[in-house]
Structure formats: structure tokens, C-alpha cells
Chain A
């Protein structure tokens, strides 16, 4: 069906007065506005983690030829080594080979999240040094590299979980609110039962059935996180059902999905968007707790929860716990600030006073 859900505005594309006003209000909350910029910067930076923290050089020159080890995998024989396997650039022997007849351009942090530093002068976990700015963990891996990759993984996981659970929650809430009656009643009772489950324990039990990877965890957590928005969206739709313009659309014979999407959803989006940063926070915290308890991502994955766990296991190495704590609290605080600013921007009373 070729229904135009959004007709374009000729005068001011991609904006309408309501959105404009809300954006202005959002900008007025300086704390939230700067948090948004800082968070965007951190997130975009962490998306390029491979270029910032990696155990392969960005660029290598050997015998007059240019190599891109970060994109292409070269066997060690290319550089006059012995093995047919991928070059281990951090190996002093290989590094010497290359630098004899060329040079290597290393990223800012020459470690990836799983690179083990074998040149430690002290036994792992090693304290911060000029080599490892935030020290290493108890397996000799660079903490800063793990924090950068862990930040990216947490935020991506949280974002995906938020988007997926919002979509499910909005659809369920919209159907309940729009149709009401028995559908609503049955849905509400199911929600009551489902939401009274002890979520974390169920997730732990479920993850022990499968070998939990990123997607399994996302799916299992989605089972329990989609309910956050249902009640909000349902309430908005129950209210919206009686709006005159919704009635007028029904009288025009506009199909129900279009009415819901075009006329009612924008009203529910206020509540939804307000909640999203908090759902994102919740998702990140749950993932971190699972990792902390050891039921989360597979061993070796860069994870803030696992780092916290190491901090607890190695109290003599405070840089572990402090790094994990600092990065988590900065991330969560920024998200809360953004969430508050969004909530204020959508609050109509803010304009009237």
C-alpha cells in the first residue's frame, strides 16, 4: 500500500513549530546541551576505536612499498619474517625487521582491547605508566584500550536495546490504547504477570542455557525491557483516541495503522523520547551487572562490568576499579543530564511560566 505517511513540508523541511520550540527549550538547558555534545563526541570517538587503540600500525612503509595493516592482513613473510600467519607488529623481532628498511605509524594507544603487553616491568596488573596510561589488568591488557572499546560496546548495546524495546513497547502500547476493550484488558494482565518476574535472575538462568554472545544477550534482555514504554504509550493512545482530529480521521475512513502512526504516535513520542535516555541507562547498567557477575559477554570481550569485577578482585590495583567506575559514572551521568534536558524540553508547562 502506497500511503504517504509523512508528506513533506514545502516551506521548512524537516521541522515543524512544535519540534522547533522543543529544540529551543532543549538548548536552553545548558547542562543537557553540553552533555549531548560531550556524549556525541565520546561516542563518535569510540566508534573509531580501531584508529585510536590498536596493536597494528595505521600505516607501514617497508622496502619502498606502503602497507595498511589496519585494513589488510599481511603475512609475516611480507616483511621478511618466518611465519605465514598474520604479522604480529608488536613483536620486537618483526618491528625491528620493518624499521630497518621503513617505518610504522602507530595509533595513539598501541594496544587493542585484547593485546597482552609482554614487556611489563612489574607483574600484571601493572600500575599506570608511560606505556599503559591507565595501567594494565590482571592479564596484562591495557586498561585504557579496554575502556574505549568497552564504552563503545556498552553504548551500542544500550542503544540497540533501547531502540528495539521502544519499537516493541510502542507497538504493543499503541495497539492496547487504540483498540481498548478486551485487547487492552488481556494485555494489561499479561504485562502485570510478565513484569513481576525477577528479571536479573531469569536473564542469568537463560544465559546459562546458551553460550551468551552480544546478540543473545540483546535478545534475552529485550524479553524483559520492552515493557517500560507500554504503559506510557497506552495512556497517550487512550487519551488520543478522543481527540477531535483523530475522530475526524476515523470519519474520513483513514485506516487504523495510519491514524496511529500519523496522528497519535507524535503525541506518544513525547513520553517515549523522554524515557529513552533512562532506558538506555538501564540497559547499560544491566549489561554491566551481568558482566560483573560473569554471566554476560564471552570472556575476553572488552566490558566495563568485567573491568569492575577485576577491580574488586584486585583491590591492590586501584586503577582498575577507578577507571571502570569513572568511565561508567561519566557515561551514566551524561545520559541522565541529556534525559533531563529532553524531559524539560517536552514539558509544555516550561513554556507557560
Chain B
């Protein structure tokens, strides 16, 4: 069988770093096959892919025995020859379609530019080609899509445009760098299906870079598992997943989210919200018409003490806005009561004493900590507000204790956030919330930005903490597997409304609403598509 792409002994070093970022990578890709590079962040999988087109940052030094495309060594190609390769023989799809598309050009300009650079045809023909391409990526009504700007398209549509651009010059190889990470689950599936179909119809070789073993198992024929710059395991996907040889592969497979929530302790209601609505009003100009965006629409929920309420929905469904409204950080209408206290009746400073009883952990581990403060200063802040009775030594002792409790070293309180990894930062964020001994903890996608194995550890920590302190969680996530593993009750949201709610397991067993069925299908579909 012929080889489309073959990489032998690829090494990438960064100036000033002793350890190479990619260290002796070998792999081969056959035409018409999908090869997945899987690994956690920092494993060198994206660097490997980018090195093929020499798209690495200038500080990177690439050495390879061979990077062969169709048997031709392209390692030393420069400038003009390399440009023919880029977007010609090799197409590339990036993770974030919004930033990969030029916001000032309409779709037609972007796709046609790509065609006109590589092919000697006139504008009219390029336009026809553009329409054909958009049809090929299954965009409805291509003529209309072509006249739109990227911000007028949905995330899935943008990614389809990106794919159309990558396909514009009949490439032999398509490199897809985490093509669906920024997309919702239901969209993710359709994009991957499309890639798979194109691969089969056009006989493309696809190099898929991902961190998600689930996707690999369903779509890729072959897989290379990368860890710390090296390929630790390689081979037929089904074989590798069924019988992983390397401990790292096993570790990756084991950290896939799953399982069900631990049995809850039965007790009374802690938080109740009824007919909660959040509206954002917008006015164009001084005398313009006021328009309203209802982010949360008439949501009612109640959470029992010591239990977890899962909130799932795709981006823009109002999950995070609901969290902010429950914490009374944004204005809302409707009743919110914590125990016997009507929170919505409290104004301004009256809310202050109750803040200690409900806390929040955010998604982005990089944005959640103030980079200019030490970990100790960050964690102690809540005590400075709510526990003025404690002196400095007592506060410091509490900080040390809570850091130990979330699995960090007490000495870490003298460090700065940038010295910590993503998982450690998220633990600090949990410590900051827990130091006030809250009853309710709202977790807004706490693990979405973390690698699978770290995600697993953080979820275990959360479960342990809940058990130890009888904490009540609201767990917001778009990842149904994660939610299933931790929550007792579930709310499915769409466009600000509750689509379905009830006991988690019963919803997963027999979803009533079509939307819930679709979500669950997308998340738990194990069908192999190759």
C-alpha cells in the first residue's frame, strides 16, 4: 500500500529549552485513511502537525530525517514551493473557526482567495467552484452563505466554511487540529461525520489531532498516542483501544468520564428558585427602540442539601447566566430563596452576609486567579471580608489547611498563579470558594478546560469534598458524561428555558424530549463510523 505522508524521526526544539518539545516522532499515513494524533495539552501533537507545513513559531527548530509527501521529501522546501504545498496539496483546519476566518471578508472572498492563489482561473469560475465547495460541505443555500461575514454564521457553519477552504484545491491531505473542540456536542458530531464522509468520497488522507479518545475510537482507523513529545503507542485504533500496551494509553482510557453519581444523603431543600428570568436590554442610540434578549426564561428549580444538580445545555443556552442570577451577581426577576431567606428581596449590602454561604468556581483556570497576587492572597480574600474576627496567623493557618484539603501543598501559598498548572489553578479556585465553608457551590464548567486525566482528578476531589462536608453543588457543563458522573438531578436547558428536568439516571435512561435525546445520542454514541 502506498504512503501519503511519512514522517521519520521528527524533532522540534525551542531555543533555551533543553528538552525537545517533539522527540523522534515517526508515523505514516495512507491515502483515504484517518490517522489520529491523540494526547494531552503539551504533548506535542499540534507541533507535529504544524511542522509538516512549517507553520511553527520562529523560535522552534525543526529537524527530521524525512517529511515525505507522496514519496517526495519536503523537509527543506522553502518559500514558493512551500506555499504551493500550503492550501494546495495539504489543507488545514484550525480549532477556533472564528479566529481562523478574517472577520472583514465575506465567505466568498475567503474561499475564492484560496482558489485564485493556487489555480489559474477567472473570478466567475472561482465563484462557481466556491458554490460547489459549499455544497460539498453540506451548507444549505450556498449562494446566501457566500455573502455573509463570519460573525453572521454559527460555529458549525464557520467550521464548514473552513473545511471548504481547506478542500478548495483538491488536497491529498487534510490536517484537522482539534476541529470540534470549540463546538457544541451536537454540532461536533455532524462536523466529524462530514470529515469522515469527505475522506471516503474524495480519498483524502486525514490527520486528526484531538485530545478526545472517544472521537478517535469512533472515527479514526489508525491512532498514535503522544506523551511528552514521544509517540508511546501506535497502530490500528480498535486494537490499541481494546488492548492498550502502554501505561499512558491505559491511563488516558481510564480517565474518560463516566460512571454515576454516589448515592445522596436525603435531606431538605437548600435553594429554591421559581419563575426566574434574566433579560438584557439593548437600546440603539438615545431614542432608539429598546430590544430585549431573554437569557434565562422562567426557570424554576430546587436543590436538596448535600446533592448535586446538573445543568446541561449547549453554548448560549443560559447556563452561566442562570448561575450568575442565582448568586445575585446580575439582576433577575423571580424568587430565589436560600433556606428560609428570600435572596431576591435583599438589596446591595444586605446580600453580603449570605455571600459566604454560596460560592462559585469558574471554567477558565487561567482567568480565574488574579495574576498579580500570590495564591495565599487569593485564597485568604474571602476571610478578610467575612471573618474579621480572625487574626493574621489564624487566617494563614486556615489557608494552609484548605490548600492541603484540595490536594495542594501548603507551601504553595507563596507562589504566583503562573507557576501553577491548569489543574492546580482549578484546585486553588476551589480552595478560594471553600475557605468560607459555603453550603452551596456553583461549578460553572469547572473541568472543561482541563485535560482528561486532570479532569478526572478534579471530579474525584469534588466528590470527596461533597461527601466530607455535605456540600450542595450546582454543576454546569456541556459534557453529559461528566454530568452523569456527578449529579443526582438534572436540568436540560435550551435558549434560556428548561427543556427537561428530573432525576439524572431516569433522564439518561429514557429522555422524554427530542432535544435531550439528541444530546444524549451525540454524547454516548459509540458507533464506529469507519
Q: Which positions in A face B, CB cutoff 8 Å? A: 3-4, 7, 9-11, 16-18, 243-245, 247-255, 262-263, 266
A16 touching B385, Cβ below 8 Å: no
A216 to B358, CA, bound (A): 52
Q: How many Å from the CB of B112 to the closest CB on chain A?
A: 31
How many whole Å from B434's CB to the nearest CB in chain A? 12
Which chain B residues (384-431) contact chain A, with CB distance < 8 Å? Answer: 384-386, 414, 416, 418, 429
Is B359 an interface position by the 8 A CB rule? yes
Is there an interface contact between A16 and B377, defined as CB atoms closer than 8 Å? no
**Given A252-B382, A253-B351, A247:B329 Cβ within 8 A:** yes
Q: Are A9 and B385 in contact (CB under 8 A)?
A: no
Chain B 91-128 per-residue mask, 1 if CB under 8 angstroms from chain A, else 0: 00000000000000000000000000000000000000
Chain B residues with a Cβ closer than 8 Å to the other chain, count? 38
A263 CA to B433 CA in the complex, in Å? 17
> Measured between alpha carbons, how far is A253 from B355 in the docked complex, in Å?
6
CA distance A258 to B436 in the complex (A): 18
B475 on interface, CB distance cutoff 8 Å = no
Given A17-B416, A251-B329, does the pair A245, B369 have CB atoms closer than 8 Å? yes
Once bound together, how far apart are the Cα atoms of A251 and B376, in whole Å?
A: 18
Q: Is the CB of A247 within 8 A of B372?
A: no
| Chain B hits for A9, CB < 8 A | 374, 414
A19 to chain B minimum Cβ distance, whole angstroms, is: 8
In whole Å, how far is B430's beta carbon from the nearest beta carbon of chain A?
11
Q: Can you list 6 A-B pairs, Cβ within 8 angstroms, ordered by A? A: A7-B373, A17-B416, A252-B355, A252-B359, A253-B385, A266-B372
Would you list which residues of chain B between 53 and 109 have a CB under 8 Å from chain A? none
With contacts A7-B377, A9-B374, A17-B416 known, is A248 near B385, CB below 8 A? no
Task: Report the Cα distance A249→B414, complex, angstroms.
Answer: 20
| A253-B356 contact in complex given A245-B368, A263-B370, C-beta closer than 8 Å | yes
Best-surrounded residue of A17, A252, A253 (most CB of chain B within 10 A): A252
* 8 Å CB contact of A18 from B353, B355, B372, B432: B372
A11 to chain B: which residues have CB within 8 Å? 414
B371 CB–A CB distance under 8 Å: yes
B416: chain A residues at CB < 8 Å are 16-17
- B385 with A252: CB separation less than 8 A: yes
In this complex, the member of B355, B358, B373, B378 whose beta carbon has the largest number of chain A beta carbons within 10 angstroms is B373
Residues of B whose CB lies within 8 Å of any CB of A are 324, 327, 329, 351-353, 355-356, 358-360, 362-364, 367-374, 376-378, 380-382, 384-386, 414, 416, 418, 429, 432-433, 436
Q: How far is the CB of B262 from chain A (nearest CB, A)?
A: 26
B360 pairs with A247, CB closer than 8 A: yes
With A11-B414, A16-B372, A17-B418 given, is the CB distance from A243 to B352 under 8 Å?
no
Query: Assuming A10-B414, A17-B418, A244-B368, is B362 touching A249 (CB within 8 A)?
Result: no
A7 vs B429: C-alpha distance when bound (angstroms): 19
Complex Cα–Cα for A10 and B414 (A): 7
Q: Provide the residues of chain A in CB contact with B371, threshold 8 Å.
A: 17-18
**A252: nearest chain-B partner, CB-CB:** B382
State A80–B417 Cα separation when bound (angstroms): 74
| Contact assessment for A4 and B356 in the assembled complex, using a CB-CB cutoff below 8 Å | no
List of B residues within 8 angstroms of A4 by Cβ? 384
Q: Known contacts A244-B364, A244-B367, A245-B367; is A254 also within 8 Å of B372 by CB?
A: no
5 further interface pairs, Cβ-Cβ under 8 Å (given A9-B374, A244-B362):
A7-B374, A16-B372, A245-B367, A253-B356, A266-B372
| Nearest-Cβ distance from residue B359 to partner chain A, whole angstroms | 6
Closest to A255 in B: B385
Residues of chain B within 8 A (CB-CB) of A7 are 373-374, 376-377, 380
* B324, B381, B386: the one within 8 Å of A249 (CB): B381
Q: How far is the CA of A11 from the CA of B419 in the complex (A)?
A: 14
Smallest CB-CB separation from A259: which chain B residue? B381
- How far apart are A8's CB and chain B's nearest CB, in angstroms? 9
- What are the residues of chain B within 8 A of A251 when measuring CB–CB? 327, 329, 355, 358-360
User: Would you give the shortest CB distance from B476 to chain A, in whole angstroms?
Assistant: 14
**Chain B nearest Cβ from A187, distance in angstroms:** 16
Contact A250 B329 (CB under 8 A): yes
Contacts of A3 on B, CB cut-off 8 Å? 384
Q: Chain A contacts of B353 at CB under 8 A?
A: 253
Shortest Cβ distance from B352 into A: residue: A253
Counting chain B CB atoms within 10 Å of each CB, the highest count among A18, A245, A251, A254 belongs to A251
A248 touches B414 (CB 8 A): no
Chain A residues whose CB sits within 8 angstroms of the CB of B374 once the complex forms: 7, 9, 16
In the bound complex, CA of A255 to CA of B356 (Å) = 13
Given the known inter-chain contacts A4-B384, A253-B356, A266-B372, please indicate yes or no for A248 contacting B362, CB distance below 8 A.
Answer: yes
| Closest CB pairs A-B (n = 8) | A253-B355, A244-B362, A244-B368, A244-B367, A252-B382, A245-B370, A253-B352, A7-B377
Q: Give bound CA distance, A11 to B429, whole Å.
A: 22
A137 to chain B, nearest CB (A): 51
Complex interface: chain A residues within 8 A of B385 (CB): 252-255
Please name all residues of chain B whose beta carbon is closer than 8 Å to the beta carbon of A249 when the two chains form the complex: 381
Chain B residue, CB-CB nearest to A264: B370
Q: Assess whether A252 is in contact with B418, with CB atoms less than 8 Å apart.
A: no
Find out whether the CB atom of B368 lies under 8 angstroms from the CB atom of A248: yes
A328 → B minimal CB distance (Å):
38
Report the Cα distance A253→B378, complex, angstroms.
14
Q: Are B381 and A254 in contact (CB under 8 A)?
A: yes
- Closest B residue to A266 by CB, please name it: B372
In the complex, A263→B351 CA distance in Å?
Answer: 21
Residues of B within 8 A of A250 (CB): 329
A255 to B351 CA separation, bound complex (whole angstroms)? 11
Contact status B381-A252, CB under 8 Å = yes
B-side contacts of A247, CB under 8 Å: 324, 329, 360, 362
A245 to B378, CA, bound (A): 9
* Cα distance, A254 to B358, chains bound together (Å): 14
Residues of A close to B356: CB separation below 8 A? 252-253
Q: Specify the chain B residue showing the minimal Cβ separation from A19.
A: B372
A9→B373 CA distance, assembly (Å): 9
- Interfacial chain A residues near B418, Cβ < 8 Å: 17
CA distance A232 to B386 in the complex (A): 33
The CA-CA distance from A248 to B364 in the complex, in Å, is 12
Q: Is the CB of A248 within 8 A of B360?
A: yes
Which of B367, B376, B378, B386 gathers most chain A CB within 10 Å? Answer: B367
Taken together as a complex, chains A and B put the C-alpha atoms of A16 and B373 apart, in Å, by 8
Nearest CB in chain B: distance from A240 CB, A: 10
Look across to chain B and name the residue whose beta carbon is closest to the beta carbon of A269. Answer: B372
Cα distance A252–B433 when bound, in Å? Answer: 8
Name the residue on A nearest B388 (C-beta): A2
CA distance A18 to B368 in the complex (A): 17
A7 to B375, CA, bound (A): 12
Measured CA separation A247–B359 after assembly (Å): 11
Q: How far is the CB of A266 from chain B (nearest CB, A)?
A: 5
- Could you tell me the distance between the alpha carbons of A58 and B149 in the complex, rounded to whole angstroms? 76
CA distance A149 to B238 in the complex (A): 84
Report the Cα distance A7→B377, complex, angstroms. Answer: 7
A248 to B372, CA, bound (A): 15
The residue of chain B having its C-beta at the shortest distance from the C-beta of A253 within the complex is B355
- The residue on B at minimum CB distance from A16 is B372
Task: Specify which chain A residues have a CB less than 8 angstroms from the CB of B363 in the assembled complex.
Answer: 244
Name the residue of chain A whose CB is nearest to the CB of B360.
A251
Q: A3 CA to B384 CA in the complex, in Å? A: 7
Q: Please give, as numbers and ranges, the residues of chain A lying within 8 Å of B433 by CB-CB distance.
A: 248
Contacts of B377 in A (CB 8 A): 7
A243–B367 contact, CB under 8 A? yes
Distance, CA A123 to CA B223, complexed state (A):
95
